[in-house]
Amino acid sequence: MNFKDKYGPWALVTGASGGIGYALADELASLGLNVVTIARSAEALTAQKQEIEAKYGVKVNPLALDVAAPSFPAEVLQATAGLDIGLVVPNAGTIEVGDFAKSDAAANKRLIAVNVEHPVMLANAFASRLVARGRGGIVLLSSTFGYQGVPYLANYAAGKAFILAFGEALHVELKRFGVDVTVLSPGLTRTSMSEGLPLDLGKLPIRSESAAAVARFGVSRLGRTASAAPGILNNIFIFFNRLSPRILPVALFGFLVRRAFRPDARGSLLIGPQ
């Protein structure tokens, strides 16, 4: 069975108007899938629709929705009720950086909704559809930061760790029904979100990759592995991380992240005393 037959005719990608989400929508369309694209900006989604449809001759159904809204999962289900969706990619994510003790409660709640709660709700809602079809897939987005606690990104890293464990479990649960689940764990990726971080990324021992390369890699691993991280250095890091006592990488990244904060951003990022 080819990719389109197994995972088509429709894919759904959240956070699709930029970065990895945009690249994933483009990659799936290049493989012949129609795509439901979801993001907040109707203007960006319209431009994306025109570009993808012109390039690949597929259909694009843009939905301008706020992924952080409590009603988001229900709105997605209602809007896609008439579509035969075979691949679900809850890609949308957000990040909060800084001293957790001084962080904003609303921002923490929003991060958990976007990065954890709503991906789980979408996976839950579509899993039964995919099982009934006897084929299909789910691609969940974690991070290399999901393999350990990361000081100053505590909520973000914890959420990505949840998604990693959740997706690995679903990989086993749903495989027997013909449904593939893979967790994609990108490292540093050149997107507007990473570029907007208040960090001197050159001070971190990581290499950046393009969103297109990450998307191609993630799609290529679907149906092959429970989880996958692009890049040799990322995989070396993950390997040694799993072998070492857990506190060591946590302490190391605490030091590295704190060192990488730009001096002009410390106040606004709620970093505590030196």
Distances (CA, A) of 1 to 7, 16, 50, 136: 10, 27, 29, 11
DSSP secondary structure letters along 76-123: HHHHTTTS-EEEEE--------S-GGG--HHHHHHHHIIIIIHHHHHH
6, 22, 56, 160: the active-site residue: 160
Distances (CA, A) of 115 to 40, 45, 57, 122: 16, 21, 32, 12
7, 22, 152, 156: the active-site residue: 156
DSSP secondary structure letters along 142-176: --GGGGS--TTSHHHHHHHHHHHHHHHHHHHHHHT
**4 flagged as catalytic:** no
**102 flagged as catalytic:** no
Query: Residue 208: helix, strand or coil by DSSP?
Result: coil
CB neighbours of residue 186 within 10 Å: 27
Please give the Cα distance from 140 to 169 (Å, whole number): 12
- Asked if the peptide bond before residue 9 counts as cis, ω within 30 degrees of 0, the response is yes
DSSP secondary structure letters along 173-190: HHHTTTEEEEEE---SEE
Contact 261, 271 (CB under 8 A): yes
Could you give the residue numbers annotated as active site?
156, 160
